[in-house]
Structures are given as structure tokens and as C-alpha cells.
Amino acid sequence: MVKVREINKNRVFWLGMVLCTAYQSYRYPLQISSAGTSPTYSDTPLAWQAGKFALAFPLIAISLVRWFGNSARTSRWAIALGALFVSIYSLLKILDGHDTQFLDFSFWIFFALILVLALDSVSISAIDKYFCFLLAYALASNAIEVFLFVAFGRLPALAFSGSYLVRFGGFLDDPNGFAAILFLLMGWSYMRFKGRTRFLVLAGIIISLLLTQSWTAIAFFLVVIFFWGLNILSRRPIFAILAACILPCLALLVVQWIRQLPGGLLWQILEDKQGTIEGHSFPFALWASKWPDWLMLGEWKYNHYESWWASAMINFGLLWFIAYLSLIVALLFFVWRAYARSTRQAKPVHAGLLVFGFYFLFGSLNLPLPIVFPINALFFLFFFVVAFRRIESDNCVTEAAHELPLAGLARPVSQ
């Protein structure tokens, strides 16, 4: 069990986690969204947009006092200074550009950094219990939204009446951000559970992922399946022979099934997504011709493009881009190493973080995930915890038994 003393000791950190997890849950019931493209929702009032920052400021202040009270200790100053550089540089941009997108990036990386630096340690069992809660919350909220849509026609934020473009985003009501949460849970669940429980949990996650209709997420899921398959085939050659025989036949069946879909269903879906696809394009030729204006320090006016990695160099310049990319790669390396060295109890947590981290890296090719709250805050919170060695193993979490009811997901499992 997670000790009450540990929760009290890390109260500020967990309050920050609760803020990041639950704050956006107002979107679906109140039908307000900051997407700007929802045909059925109203724009989010300024007070709601600013509310998360107002709630986060006291947590930062308390954490700063505690960190300085502990002689400002940290085990990896290079990571801390790198995070401060990319955050402060982005904050300075807002003084001239006056665009809140600069703030969305700089604030949450600073928020995560300070909260983690003030930590003594957080146990694997505490994070595991948080993942259990997150799993139940994600699947339940998505199931409720699907039920209300089927039963009453209640549309989520990114949905258009009379079309196949109805995208479900769970408690975030944001399909792209929700997909990132699902990848976190996917990696963790695969190693946390066994038998029928693992099958049911992963089935729920994959169905929820498909319901997001996020092509970026689905493409990454196929990449995950590909590498997972390679790993299985490398250990069991007989499976490679069977795959070579079965997969071509399966591909032919899928193509034939698509051709027979009623009323050109596939083409209708593609037409519905056409506007979204065009919105993710990036004018490389235009910016290549203007390279002297942005190469070193970037533009001082934020340029809104869906592709983060392409637009980051334009908005922040080459030096900042190299620093930020180096920071992300370093954080992924620390989690990868922690996974390789982790105990059986800790492996599920690190596996979930790895899948989440690689999606954060991959998905940013086509989505602005580093400025999407709460995905940006959760990424840096978890990865800083690992990088700054604030995470510790304990004996409270073991491999799951073959059967574990959903209502008891958070219970420790006996050997």
C-alpha cells in the first residue's frame, strides 16, 4: 500500500498531478473548448483558460521554498539548466510576440521542473496507483461519451453532425492529447497485467485509440505493433514463417473488405478528414527562402503550425532547437536506462513512460504536443522524476495475477 506519510510528504507534487489530470475535465460537460474548430462548443472563457495557471502558481511557490530549504540540491545540473534555458528563452519571446503559445510551452516545463526538484522521492507503488486511477478514468469517461453519442446524439468537441468525423477524447475531450494518455497506459498495462485482464484492458485502450481518429496516433500504434512483432519473431523463428504465410493473405482480405464497404464509407471518411490533413501541412519552401530571418534566434511572432518540430525551429531558432531536442533525447535516454535496470516491480511504470515518451517525440512531427496541456506538463513531470532520481522502487507492486477485476486495479497483487 502507498503510505499516507509518503502522500503527505509529496502533497504538492501530487496536487500538481491532480491539476494536470483533472483540470480539462470541464470541457465535455460544459461544452466549451479552446480548439476553435468545434461546431457545437463555445470558446473557452478567459477565466477558465487562466485558471490552471492560477492554481499552479502556489504549487510552484511552495516547491521553490522547499527546494531552497533543502540547499537547492539536484543530481543533474545539466538537465536543470537546459530545461531553464528552453523555458526562459520561450518566456522572453512573449514579451515581444505577445502570443500565449510561448507561455503554454515555457510555463509547464518550469512548473514540472520546480515540483520535481522539491521532491525527496516518490515510490513506484504511488505512480502505479496513479496509473490505475488514470486507466479507470480514461476508459470510463470515453465509454460515457460514446454511450451518450449513440443514445442521444451528444457530440464531443471535435465532431461534425452528419459525418463520420466524430472523434472521442475521453476526459480531456481532446483526441490528440487523449491518444498520448492512452499510449502511456498501453505500455504500462502490457507489462502490468496478464491473461484475460491484460487482453481486456488493452482491448479497451486500443478501441479508445481508434475512436480518437487521430491518424498520427494510429500511425504510431502501427509502428509499435511492427517493432513488437519483430521482437516476438526474433525470439521464435517459427512465428516468422507463419507470419510470412499469413500476412499477405490477411492484407488481401483487408483490401477486399475495404472495397466492399457500403456507400464508399472509406472515401467519405477520407473526405471528412481532408481539412484536417491540409491543416497539418508545413510550407517548407516559404521558410527556406526566409532563413536569414529565423535561423539563429527564430521569429518573434509565433507562427501556428500543427507540426511542432518544423515550426519550433522557425519560432525559436536553431540554437534553441538543438538545446530542446538534446533535452528530450537525454530524458528519453534516462528513462530507457531506468527501464533496462529496473526491477520486476518497476518495469511496467518505466515501460509506460517509454511508450509515452516516444510518442511525444514521434507525434510532435505532426502535432504541437509540447504546447498541449496537460500532455506537456505530464511528460516533463514524469521524465524529470526519473532523470533527477526522485523515483524509488519498493515491494508494493508485483506482477499482476492472471485475473484482476477492474475495480481492484489499484490493489497490490500477491506473488
Domain boundaries, the chain: 4-237+277-408
Taking residues 350-371, what's their average pLDDT?
93
Instruction: Judge whether residue 269 has pLDDT over 50.
Output: yes
Residues 141, 29: Cα–Cα separation, whole Å: 11
Q: Cβ neighbours of residue 364 under 8 Å, at least 6 residues apart?
A: 307, 308, 309, 370
Instruction: Judge whether residue 261 has pLDDT over 70.
Output: no
Phi-psi region of 71 (alpha: psi -120 to 50; beta: other; left: phi over 0): left
For residue 269, the tally of other CB atoms under 10 A from its CB is 15
The predicted structure's pLDDT at residue 400: 38
Rg (CA), the chain: 22
Phi-psi region of 263 (alpha: psi -120 to 50; beta: other; left: phi over 0): left
Query: Are residues 78 and 27 in contact, defined by beta-carbon separation less than 8 angstroms?
Result: no
Give the pLDDT band of residue 158 (cuts 50, 70, 90). Answer: confident
What secondary structure letter does DSSP report for 189? Answer: H
Residues 68, 342: Cα–Cα separation, whole Å: 30
The predicted structure's pLDDT at residue 287: 72
The predicted structure's pLDDT at residue 415: 30
Provide the sign of the torsion angle of the four alpha carbons 160, 164, 168, 174, taken in this order.
negative
The predicted structure's pLDDT at residue 235: 67
Q: What is the mean pLDDT of the chain?
A: 81
Higher pLDDT, 69 or 190: 190
The predicted structure's pLDDT at residue 35: 65
Instruction: Judge whether residue 104 has pLDDT over 60.
Output: yes
H/E element, 42? strand 42-43
Give the pLDDT band of residue 240 (cuts 50, 70, 90). Answer: low
- The share of the chain scoring above pLDDT 90, in percent, equals 45
Name the H helices within 289-374.
Answer: 291-294, 308-316, 318-341, 347-363
Residues 228, 202: Cα–Cα separation, whole Å: 14
Going from the C-alpha of 100 to that of each of 52, 311, 372, the distances in angstroms are 14, 15, 12
Number of H helices, E strands in the chain: 18, 4
Instruction: Judge whether residue 410 has pLDDT over 70.
Output: no
What secondary structure letter does DSSP report for 33? Answer: E
Residues 392, 390: Cα–Cα separation, whole Å: 7
123-132, 187-196, 281-290, 358-367: lowest mean pLDDT where?
281-290
Taking residues 16-36, what's their average pLDDT?
88
Q: Which residues of 211-250 are buried (b: 16+ CB within 10 A; e: fewer)?
A: bbbbebbeebbeebeeeeeeeebeeeeeeeeeeeeeeeee
Higher pLDDT, 304 or 135: 135
The predicted structure's pLDDT at residue 413: 40
Among 165, 401, 128, 168, residue whose Cα is nearest residue 274: 165
Instruction: Judge whether residue 386 has pLDDT over 90.
Output: yes
The predicted structure's pLDDT at residue 403: 34
pTM of the model: 0.84
Higher pLDDT, 248 or 151: 151
